[in-house]
Amino acid sequence: MQFGIFSVSDVTRNPLTGTTPSEAQRIDAIGQIAKRADEVGLDVFAIGEHHNPPFFSSSPTTLLAHIAARTERIILSTSVTLITTNDPVKIAEDYAMLQHLAKGRVDLMLGRGNTVPVYPWFGQDIRNGVALALENYNLLHKLWRDDVVDWQGKFRKPLQGFTAIPRPLDDVPPFVWHGSIRTPEIAEQAAYYGNGYFANNVLAPNFHFLPLVNFYRERFEHYGHGSKEQAIVGLGGHAFIARNSQDAYERFRPFFEGNPIYGSSYGLEEYAKNTPLSVGSPQEIIDKTLSFREAFGDYQRQLWVVDAMGLPLEVALEQVELLGTEVVPVLRREMAARRSPGAAPAPTHQSLVTAKYGDAPARQPTPNPNRGDNLTGARPYQDTDLGVAAKLPLVG
């Protein structure tokens, strides 16, 4: 099982000091947080994608490439990449490039996002949100698996003889999770392709997402990818840890109850009791996480938010340290002891390469010298269907 952290990249006022960090400070901080997560042995670091204040992570691939250069082993992911408002061709090429730079330590989570104005900013209509998510991933799936793509859909121009570059590392695309909090069509999509399904497991009552997870498991089995218990499930969460419960609540209270999302409606104790928010000692975080396993069954990835609500960098780093040294080592043992023999392992780049090639070497696509683009061996200059020579003189 994989354990890690994810960030929504908020730039939020610290209620204790009254100061708000700059974007530059938060961007620098998230790099330090990811590096510490790698150092303490966490498995995954994920970052969201936002294009509006008060967030900073408008370009996850740029940020994750920087983090890849500063880390050694941690898997880099997203939470989420917007499949509705990004061009799937650009997603295919950007994340394949990141996959090469990170030597395979990359997967991504796709989602529709929850910010209404983003759709028109990128030339789309939110009323097409589900249809965009379904069609765009259909194209992304093909772009990563077919060297040459002919494709036509409703929401973008057709592609004819197109090759996305670079090709995925070792001819194996990054693993894809589909993140959703309310849409059965997205759970169905994840199941259809045999991909992972991620429930963010925040901002809702305990076990609120269980019906969607169970639906995904049933459809995963229906499509012949394995049994329901072999489906690939991830859960989010939010944690604040201190050496003892009293200190955890005392220290976290001003950030939670001073936050505009929560503070005007909820008390911290009530919210921690009735939702997946985990507050307390390392053992209390362990117990709360084990309750997720009891409800949802065996799952493959657990991520927590530890840097939101205006927490200063030093506190976020402390949270990462406690997760890596006090919480996750125990959870690894406890989860392994409870795990069904039939549960699927967490996907990694190497496991996907092995599944495809076994002991044989992976295919390494290389440009074909007889063609201007890549791979197919077709001549670089051909007549168009109008009979006009496509060869043009060089300019410059």
Q: How confident is the model at residue 391 (pLDDT cuts 50, 70, 90)?
A: very low
pLDDT higher than 60, residue 378: no
> What percent of the chain is predicted at pLDDT more than 90?
87
pLDDT in tens, 86-103: 999 999 999 999 999 999
In terms of pTM, does the model score above 0.85? yes
Residue span of the structural domain in which 160 resides = 2-357
pLDDT at 388: 37
pLDDT higher than 90, residue 382: no
Q: Is residue 332 part of a domain?
A: yes
Q: Is residue 388 part of a domain?
A: no
Mean local confidence (pLDDT), 241-261 = 94
pLDDT higher than 70, residue 385: no
Number of domains in the chain: 1
Domain at 300, CATH number: 3.20.20.30
pLDDT in tens, 291-336: 999 999 999 999 999 999 999 999 999 999 999 999 999 999 999 9
Q: Is residue 391 part of a domain?
A: no
pLDDT at 369: 57
Q: Is residue 382 part of a domain?
A: no
Q: Is residue 380 part of a domain?
A: no
Q: How many CB atoms lie within 10 A of CB 123?
A: 9
Q: How confident is the model at residue 115 (pLDDT cuts 50, 70, 90)?
A: confident
pLDDT at 350: 97
pLDDT higher than 60, residue 190: yes
Residue whose tokens read 């849409």: 183
Q: How confident is the model at residue 265 (pLDDT cuts 50, 70, 90)?
A: confident
Q: What is the DSSP letter of 326?
A: I
| Half-sphere exposure for 2 (CA within 13 Å, toward CB) | 30
Q: Is residue 384 part of a domain?
A: no
Q: Is residue 395 part of a domain?
A: no
> What percent of the chain is predicted at pLDDT more than 70?
92
What mean pLDDT value characterizes the chain? Answer: 92
pLDDT in tens, 334-363: 999 999 999 999 999 999 999 999 999 999
pLDDT at 264: 74
